[in-house]
Amino acid sequence: MLKSKWLRWASFFVVAAVIAACSDAELTFGGPLDLVITSNAPVSLSDSLVVNYDVTGRSLLGIAVTWGDATVDSVFFAGAQTALGRVAHLYSAEGDYTVSATVTDGVEGQVNRELAVTISP
């Protein structure tokens, strides 16, 4: 079964390459690297801060979210072209934090976005 899946993918890429070779059009997969993040801030210490991410790329490898309190969470995408999701964090102290999200794409490189968030008592 694994061999038949591999053969289907190999056939797809061969056909795509032939079409591209016989055409003036450029064959591309995915899109330019882009990252949009939003959150539910402000939140209190008893609530989790949720960061939503929406990513587009060509060969997404993963996203790392740095919460501003020396904590980092990572999500891996394994070559996807789009990713949509959320990560949550519970802070142990009130205050203002800078949340940073960095997405890595195997073709396009990296993009970083930041959010300023407030955690209230």
Q: Are residues 48 and 10 in the same domain?
A: no
Q: Supply the pLDDT for residue 42.
A: 95
At 60 the pLDDT is 97
For the chain, what is the domain count? Answer: 2
Q: What is the largest CA-CA distance in the chain?
A: 64
Residues 82 and 104 in one domain: yes
DSSP string, 83-94: EEEEEEE--SS-
User: Residue 112's pLDDT is what?
Assistant: 98
The CATH number of residue 79's host domain is: 2.60.40.10
| 25 & 35 share domain | no
Check whether residue 42 and residue 97 sit in a common domain: yes
**pTM (2 d.p.):** 0.76
Choose among 50, 64, 51: nearest CA to 103: 64
Contact between 40 and 86 under an 8 Å Cβ cutoff? The reply is no
Averaged pLDDT of the chain = 86
Looking at the fold, whether 115 and 87 belong to one and the same domain comes out as yes
Mean pLDDT across 79-96: 97
Q: How confident is the model at residue 120 (pLDDT cuts 50, 70, 90)?
A: very high
Say which amino acid occupies 112: N
The rounded distance, in Å, linking the Cα atoms of 114 and 119 is 16
Angle at 54 between CA 59 and CA 118, to 5 degrees: 130
Residues 9 and 37 in one domain: no
Q: Assess whether 5 and 58 both reside in one domain.
A: no
Print the domain residue range for 25: 1-29
Domain shared by 72 and 106, yes or no: yes
Do 37 and 23 lie in one domain? The reply is no
Residues 16 and 72 in one domain: no
Instruction: Tell whether the model's pLDDT for residue 113 goes beyond 80.
Output: yes
Judge whether residue 71 has pLDDT over 60: yes
Q: Are residues 77 and 116 in the same domain?
A: yes
pLDDT digits (tens, 9 = 90+) for 15-59: 455 555 555 655 556 789 999 999 999 999 999 999 999 999 999
CA 4 to chain centre: 30
